[in-house]
Amino acid sequence: MEETSREAVATAVQRVAGMLQRSDQLDKVEQYRRREARKKASVEARLKAAIQSQLDGVRTGLTQLHCALLDVKDIQSSLADVSNDWRQSINTIENLKDVKDAVVQHSQLASAVENLKNIFSVPEIVAETQQLIEQAELLQAHRKLMELECSRDDLMYEQYRMDSKNTSDMHLISNYFEDVQGLSDELAKQLWMVLQRSMVTVRRDPTMLVSVVRIIEREEKIDRRMVDRKKQSGFIPPGRPKRWKDKMFEVLEGTVSTRIEGTQALTRDVDRMWLVRLLEITRKYVLDDLIIVKNLMVQCFPPHYNTFNRFFSLYHNAVSTRVKELAAEDLEANEIVSLLTWVLNTYKSVEMMGNPELQSECDINQLESLLPQDVVDNLLSNYIKTFTSNITGWLRKALETDKKDWQKETEPEADQDGYYQTTLPAIVFQMFEQNLQVAAQINGDFKEQVLKLCLKQMNSFLIRYREEAVLYKEDHLRNRQLPQCYVQYMIAIINNCQTFKESINSLKRKYSQSSEPTDSNAAIEKTLNEVAKEGCQFLLDEVFLDLEHHLNELLTRKWLTGSHAVDTICVTVEDYFNDFNKIKKPFNQVGLEQSPVVVEREGAERMIKEADQFKFLFSKLAAVSGEDTDRLCGAIAAIAEVFKLTDPTLLFLEVTTLVSKYPDIREEHIQALLAVRGDASREMRQMIIGTLSENKVSYAGVTQPIFKDIPVPTITMTTMTTMTSMATAKLLK
């Protein structure tokens, strides 16, 4: 206390010191004193009020505690009196057993009196209810039925309470109300009929469907009440619980299943497209029905039924069951693809379960697959087997059809560029394209698998194609008059090889994700090149068979006396060349490519060797006559060097050397030499001839002209080139 006083004094001293720091503040001492006095009085007043409030609270609390104590004592006394009264009344309660029995009997009689009217009018109510059911007044019929069942159940319950072992009275009541169960069953049949036609009913008369749902909900409540009473008393009326709600969902499930199963109206025997039509009808039915459920039927059922999701699951399960049944059938290849495309793509697309109108109500990603993966794999495996067998047959038939065209007396068709062709490549790759398009609808891996199978079958087909081309040539050689358009169709066969190449590359670009070359690709490329090369050789053979007799006339006495063999050769070659213009690149160069590679080198070596033989022979002869024959033999070797040259870029230099040695050589000779080589481009020939013409050297001083008197037939350069290539091919034989 003293410490508190000291602290108060110290605080007061500090405040006074703060107020009186300046001399002019001394005049305000009286003002400060009055202000502090007012503060002190205010604090004391508040302190007194607070203390008075606390004292009042304490006084009130004590008063309440005193009253509570008195109440507790009164209650204790009352409980003691109740305990004494209870002990004294035990015997009295036991003496009231007869009164209790009388009360039960009174309750039964009261129930009987209450239902007396219904009991006497049971036959009449049964007839009215039956009539209401027949008139489809289901709500009113159910109300009458509930009255009858309530009367029966109450009587039976009271009888059970009075004497649960008295079965005779229970049977008596049951027999009296036996028609009630029949009415219940009849009403149930009407309910199930309405539910079975719910998709139609909800559009024509939705109130009927609502009535059915209301009746079922009423029965569900009665079922629950009866089950609860059974737990208490052990009694439950006959026919309870009815479980009409469960039955309703069973009926709806059966209705959906029947709807899906009933979509098949056609079979394979009647319509080859039966499965496509079946799947399309199923798609349409499912989508239309679910839209009806979303927009109309949901409003007819209570929200807790979760109606749309329930129907969504019912349709999914029904479709899955149906699809599994279809997958177990002996399906053809196109049917397998149709089914898998529908299952894997169409089903969850916007055309069906993923339709925008349904997306707000369901999540298609939560749907299980319609078919297990093992079933899908088995179907794909069966498709590959069937497709392999089918495509082999298709290719065989296509080749047989093309072979028949080879025997026609009319020329084959030409494409927009004028090249001969047959329909075989288009038919083959149309088959491939169709099957790859179908396979692509299933998935990417399956598409790659089908593409590999197509290429594998293509390789086998081309081997047969090559064999048939050889047989075609051999049959023609037996009678060269038939077929009349042999050359044109052989050109078409060659051109087909290029078309096959282009089509294969197109398929690979379009349907393959891999750019890696495969064994099938290499084998196909090799076979096509061989077919084309052999076809070109067959054409060369055909030319030389026609020219053989005329070529044999050259350098003979008949030729010297005026034979027209060269004219005939030129006309024949030019005629063939008009047909050979219809050969596509690069196969139109096959004959020309053979010339520089084989003939020019080997032929040049042979010319040099034989020139040495001539030189030796003429040297011996010149020893007698005294003439110089080295220049003559040297010309043969110089020409051979032109043929022997392997680098065409050096051709100008070699020809210039030849002209410098033999100035009497003419432009016609140079053109003939270049034509025999066959690898000089038109531009190079023009450059060589032009340059030589500008720098022409006079041969007036040449003592021994060689080329002056050697004639060159007047023919076109094109004809000369073709004739030379034909000759080259003959040398290769």
* Rounded-to-integer distance, Cα 129 and Cα 179, Å: 11
DSSP, res 301: S
Using a cut of 0.95, tell me whether the model's pTM lies above it: no
pLDDT tens digits along 383-435: 888 888 889 999 999 999 999 999 998 999 998 888 999 999 999 999 999 88
Q: Backbone phi, then psi, for 420, in 5-degree steps?
A: -65, 145
The arithmetic mean of pLDDT across residues 361-378, rounded, is 87
Residue 727, pLDDT above cutoff 90: no
pLDDT interval class at 661 (50, 70, 90): confident
Average pLDDT along the chain:
81
Q: According to the model, what pLDDT value does residue 726 have?
A: 43
Q: According to the model, what pLDDT value does residue 502 have?
A: 92
Which ranges constitute the DSSP H helices of 165-205? 167-176, 178-196, 198-204
Residue 287, pLDDT above cutoff 90: yes
Q: Which of 244, 309, 239, 319 is nearest to 285 (CA)?
A: 319
The arithmetic mean of pLDDT across residues 334-356, rounded, is 90
pLDDT tens digits along 428-487: 999 999 888 888 888 888 888 899 999 999 999 999 999 999 999 999 999 888 888 999
Q: Which of 537, 587, 549, 590 is nearest to 733 (CA)?
A: 537
* Side-chain-facing half-sphere of 484: CA atoms under 13 Å: 5
* Rounded-to-integer distance, Cα 364 and Cα 380, Å: 24
* Type of residue found at 291: I
pLDDT interval class at 689 (50, 70, 90): confident
Q: Backbone phi, then psi, for 238, in 5-degree steps?
A: -65, 140
Q: How far is CA 236 from the centre of its chain?
A: 58
pLDDT interval class at 279 (50, 70, 90): very high
User: C-alpha distances in angstroms, 237 versus 181, 241, 659?
Assistant: 11, 8, 130
Q: Backbone phi, then psi, for 177, in 5-degree steps?
A: -105, 25
* Type of residue found at 425: P
The long-range contacts involving 322-325, CB below 8 angstroms and separated by at least 24 positions, are: 322/260, 322/261, 322/282, 323/370, 323/371, 324/370, 324/371, 324/375
Q: According to the model, what pLDDT value does residue 37 have?
A: 83
Q: According to the model, what pLDDT value does residue 17 have?
A: 77
Residue 631, pLDDT above cutoff 70: no
Q: Backbone phi, then psi, for 414, in 5-degree steps?
A: -115, 150
Q: According to the model, what pLDDT value does residue 475 have?
A: 93
Q: According to the model, what pLDDT value does residue 594 have?
A: 43
Characterise 266 by phi-psi region: left (phi > 0), alpha (psi -120 to 50), beta (else): beta
pLDDT interval class at 694 (50, 70, 90): confident
Q: According to the model, what pLDDT value does residue 733 have?
A: 39
3-state SS, residue 169: helix
Q: According to the model, what pLDDT value does residue 512 have?
A: 85
Burial class (CB in 10 A: 0-12, 13-18, 19+), 80: exposed
* Rounded-to-integer distance, Cα 114 and Cα 136, Å: 30
Residue 47, pLDDT above cutoff 60: yes
Three-state secondary structure string covering 219-270: HHHHHHHHHHHHHHHCCCCCCCCCCHHHHHHHHHHHHHHHHHHCCCCCCCCC
Domain boundaries, the chain: 263-371, 372-553
60-64, 628-632, 647-651: which has the highest mean pLDDT?
60-64
- The hierarchical CATH code for the domain 372-553 is 1.10.357.50
Residue 23, pLDDT above cutoff 50: yes
* Rounded-to-integer distance, Cα 397 and Cα 436, Å: 20
Q: Which of 244, 248, 246, 225 is nearest to 236 (CA)?
A: 225
* Token pair 């009929």 in the structure block, residue: 193
pLDDT tens digits along 54-85: 888 888 889 899 999 999 999 999 988 888 87
pLDDT tens digits along 512-523: 877 666 767 889
User: C-alpha distances in angstroms, 364 versus 151, 250, 281, 368, 376?
Assistant: 51, 24, 20, 9, 20
pLDDT interval class at 719 (50, 70, 90): very low
Torsion over CA: 592, 597, 600, 606 (sign): negative
Q: According to the model, what pLDDT value does residue 704 have?
A: 63
Return the structure tokens found at 256: 């959906």
pLDDT interval class at 296 (50, 70, 90): very high
CB 440 within 8 A of CB 511: yes
3-state SS, residue 83: helix
Helix, strand, coil percentages in the chain from 3-state DSSP, rounded to 5: 80, 0, 20
